[in-house]
Amino acid sequence: MDDFEAIRQQFPILQQEIHGHPLVYLDSAATSQKPEAVIDAESTFYRTINAGVHRGAHELAARSTMAFEEARGKIARLVNADADEGEEEIVFTAGATASLNLLATAFGNASLGQGGEAAKRFALHPGDEIVVSKAEHHSVLLPFQELAQRTGATLKYFDLDDEGRVLADSASEVITERCRIVAITHVGNTTGAITDIAPIVRRAHEVGAIVVLDACQSVPHLAVDFHALDVDFAAWSAHKMYGPTGVGFLYGKRELLEALPPASFGGSMVELAFMDKPAQYMAPPARFEAGTQPVAQIVAAGVAADWLMGIGMKRIEAHEATITRELLKLGDVEGVRILGPRSEEGRIGTVAFEVEGVHPHDVGQFIDAQGIAIRVGHHCAQPVHRHFGVYASNRASSAVYNSPREAQALVEVVGGVRGFFRVK
């Protein structure tokens, strides 16, 4: 048994049959499966130390708080963020969508004058520009589109090349002196294409703009270093990196988090509250973590980060490249078009495709009948589908627990789709 076959054995859900076939799970871009270590961590927390964090003086509260903050440190190490007390750069949220909405709301609050002098750097005014791309997930596009509408800013976007890659070399034209925010995907959730971030970050900082990175599809698959990338903020979710649902992360450069006004309000984020004057809010990350956090899930997410680092992200990259190579053979099947790069270079093992003459939902059901799980639809990324001239597609997305053999099985099944539906 090789190392990655042993890793697969750590996932209980994969040890079953679907429709009489061994389960092949190729929908990890939507949500990844969870290893036993993560499942056990959540259960153990509830069995042994369940208590509120940063409140209460009893022993369980202390243990719970320690586990909570240790998880923050593990998440920070995964992406090379600062984790020392007073220098923390990781905020816990309810998901990547929540992280991105937190930022858009906080920028909007700054535009209304909240946060004082320090927050003025985030304020938007009529005529300012926000830049996204056609490749964005709706969780990036919509919060910043709404922010533009609320503040009078203009929404602009990077176009894509024929393979769906963000045209990063147009940064000097797209990002003008009026640009205040660039919100961009690190890896396309439909195309699997890795964005060339460097020229975008460089140009954005030349004009004083803030860079927000959607790292949902990169953190689980690539060795990511936010300090090296020099992005200002980044968002991603636990459930795509083998952790629980209901947990997300917001990375921010410490000096920016300290200047950013809060976006939600309640317990545990306020230093002093008064009846007759404004409250004084806590320093980050607490300022952005109002209310009761999903502590058990956060602790388990820290275990997921540890688990990934234990395998090694470079090893994961190399293993998943062998699967990508096989998935790209979908493009060799008659009547099948890949919506994304055909080369292994500069992409991950997320491959969207269309089958000529067969509706994607029919394709998905045919594949599911063979025990293979893939995604069907527009993948919350309608503009990129319009770029390819379609409204929906099928998407296979790999993870560390997949094998080249499973990718080959998918290609073989897809090869029978048009014959089954009698498409000529």
Here the tokens at position 279 are 């409250």
Q: Cα dist. 286→77, 119, 182, 295, 371 in Å?
A: 19, 17, 25, 14, 44
Within-domain flag for 37: no
Q: Supply the range of the domain harboring residue 11.
A: 3-30+312-420
Give domain status of residue 412, yes or no: yes
Looking at the fold, whether 145 and 24 belong to one and the same domain comes out as no
Same domain (yes/no): 288, 376: no
**What CA–CA distance (Å, rounded) separates 285 from 278?**
20
**Which are the catalytic amino acids?**
380
DSSP E strands, 55-178: 90-93, 129-133, 154-158
State the burial class of residue 72 (Cβ atoms within 10 Å of its Cβ: 0-12, 13-18, 19+): buried
Q: Write the pLDDT tens digit of every residue in 259-281.
A: 999 999 999 999 999 999 999 99
Q: What is the mean pLDDT of residues 146-170?
A: 98
- Is this model's pTM higher than 0.85 or not? yes
DSSP-derived letter for residue 183 is E
In a domain, 76, yes or no: yes
The Cα 30–Cα 43 span in angstroms is 24
Among 291, 309, 327, the domain boundary falls at: 309
Residues 131 and 242 in one domain: yes
Distance between CA 73 and CA 67 in Å, rounded?
10
Q: Based on the domain organization, do 245 and 336 belong to the same domain?
A: no
Within this chain, do residues 294 and 378 fall inside the same structural domain, yes or no?
no
Residue 1 pLDDT exceeds 60: no
Pick from 309, 327, 348: which residue ends a domain? 309
Among residues 389, 402, 418, which one has the least CA distance to residue 330? 418
How far apart CA 308 and CA 313 sit, in angstroms, is: 7
319, part of any domain: yes
Domain membership flag for residue 212: yes
pLDDT tens, residue by residue, 246-260: 999 999 999 999 999
Is residue 355 in some structural domain? yes
Asked whether residue 35 is assigned to any structural domain, the reply reads no
How far is 311 from 314, CA to CA, in rounded Å? 9
Answer whether 212's CB lies under 8 Å from 229's CB.
no
What are the tens digits of pLDDT across the range 352-402? 999 999 999 999 999 999 999 999 999 999 999 999 999 999 999 999 999
Residue 378 near residue 387 (C-beta atoms within 8 A): no
| 47 and 8 fall within a common domain | no
Q: Both 137 and 174 in a single domain?
A: yes
Helix (H/G/I), strand (E/B), else coil: 146:
helix
Question: CA-CA distance, 185 to 157, in Å (whole number)?
Answer: 12
Indicate if 134 and 196 belong to the same structural domain. yes
For residue 339, how far is the Cα from the chain centroid?
20
Which tens digits make up the pLDDT trace of 322-338?
Answer: 999 999 999 999 999 99
Q: Please give the tally of structural domains in the chain.
A: 2
